[in-house]
Amino acid sequence: MELTVLIDNNTLTDNYLLGEPALSLYMEEGGTRVLLDCGYSDAACRNAARLGIDLAAIDAVALSHGHNDHTWGLVPLVACLTEQAAKGHPGRKPRLVAHPEALAPRRIAPGEPIGSLLGCEALEQCFDLTLSADPVPLTDRLLFLGEIPRLLPFETARPIGERHGLQGLVPDELPDDTALAYRSDDGLVIITGCSHAGICNIVEHARRVTGVRRVAAVIGGLHLLANDPALFAATADYLHRAGLAALYPCHCTGLAAKLALARIVPVHEVGSGLRLSFA
């Protein structure tokens, strides 16, 4: 599998790409082109063009969750797809895979939306929607993990704003937060967006649904922003015991967390333009 970071908070020296407080990761695996999240603006589309990646040719989009820094880039992506159709190259609709709650309206406060700008009706015009709380295979080796059970007591997330549920506004505990798991020859590669469910909960769920115990690499946002030494230590201990060989923390991972984790597991720099290859 080949993975390219299209958007991260940081950029890498000499790549001359855009960065924004958001995330978008592009993968090619077994002839299938997959995009995890779309960032906040058109920056992912612009970086893809600079890198020679044709987003109009993607086979699938997976959403890690419904927050604006991961879904608002769907709007320029839809424009990209429809422009290609208008030029006489319609192709087939890409698949869009997400948790059923991922497209629900959200707000952090009245008048301050933080959910997807596009709902199911709009997205169905350009995508074949698969909304599932269960795992969904994207390729023979790449798996959308579905809803993540919150099993580990040291990973307790607080609600972020409110979400429109079936019974109106409810505190948003991000039930839609999920990730991808790739079965490499060296173990699991976990590709995550924000890890609101907890990166260790995500890894544990991936190990259980795939039957693969060793974790070769983790890349993505870890949602470790507050300075919490006890949480950092528990996270590092879990990842070390899982056999983690490489950690690529980005987006919503603070410097204190990176420094703490680097004492126990191998931490690598991430930024827009980073390319990784997994056997």
**pLDDT tens figures, 47-99:** 999 999 999 999 999 999 999 999 999 999 999 888 877 776 666 799 999 99
Global pTM reads 0.96
Per the CB < 8 A criterion, the answer to whether 147 and 102 are in contact is: no
> Domain range spanning residue 219?
2-270
Asked whether residue 279 is domain-assigned, the answer is: no
CA distance 23 to 51: 16
Asked whether residue 217 is domain-assigned, the answer is: yes
Asked whether residue 277 is domain-assigned, the answer is: no
Q: Who wins on pLDDT, 200 or 85?
A: 200
Asked whether residue 276 is domain-assigned, the answer is: no
Asked whether residue 156 is domain-assigned, the answer is: yes
Asked whether residue 236 is domain-assigned, the answer is: yes
How many domains, the chain? 1
Asked whether residue 9 is domain-assigned, the answer is: yes
**pLDDT tens figures, 157-193:** 889 999 998 778 999 999 999 999 999 999 999 999 9
Q: Which two tokens stand for residue 29?
A: 């695996």
**CATH code, 24:** 3.60.15.10
Asked whether residue 254 is domain-assigned, the answer is: yes
* Confidence band of 146 (pLDDT split at 50, 70, 90): very high
CA atoms within 13 A on the CB side of 6: 30
Q: Which two tokens stand for residue 107?
A: 């707000």
For residue 50, give every residue at least 6 positions away whose Cβ sits within 8 Å of its Cβ, in sequence order, or none.
16, 17
Among the residues of 26-86, which ranges form H helices? 43-50, 68-71, 74-86
